[in-house]
Amino acid sequence: MPENKGFILILTGPPGAGKSTVADILAGQSESPAAHLHTDDFYDRYIKSGYVLPWLAQAQKQNETVMGAIAAAACAYAEGGYATIIDGIVGPWFLEPFRAAASAKGIPLHYAVLRPASADMAFARVQARATHGLKAEGPVRELFRQFSDLGALEKHALDSGTTKTEETAAALSRKLAAGGFRLD
């Protein structure tokens, strides 16, 4: 992991990419204090009334509010010296609140996108997990498509479909330490 002071790593990708498992490994191996923020919690656990499924068009305002809340929480942890790992679906379309919040506080911001080898693999992983998360095929495949071409952010992608989770975490950690996921 980079820097001994606090920083933020947005660990994202489509459902079934291995985000939560890799984030747990990274946080557990951190030499400094670490916080692991699940974006799902900011939706499912904290919104008690008026919740809208995040992939629906009418959820835009909710999603903007939630992303702002996550960015603020992540900055608070990072300011306290924590290696802060945000685990969830944070596409390039939602990076601005994180960029603005981190920049305003001088907090290093990193962005890593885990991608399974195919939409079929992502969907199979989603169906196989017994825990949380989106399981509907249409949204899973659409999110896979949205993370398939990152344009200028393509260097932030890491294949999570052909290696074991521990190997993915190790590769991510090496690239993170080298500054390969840093957002400027």
Say what the pLDDT of residue 131 is.
Answer: 64
Burial 142-174 (b: 16+ CB within 10 A, else e): ebbeebeebeebeebbbebbeeeeeebbbebbe
Contact call for residues 123 and 137 (beta carbons, < 8 A): yes
- Residues of the chain with confidence (pLDDT) below 70: 1-4, 126, 129-135
Say what the pLDDT of residue 130 is.
Answer: 63
CA distance 100 to 106: 10
On whether residue 183 sits in a domain, the answer given is no
On whether residue 1 sits in a domain, the answer given is no
Instruction: Say how many domains are in the chain.
Output: 1
**CATH number of the domain that 38 lies in?**
3.40.50.300
Say what the pLDDT of residue 135 is.
Answer: 66
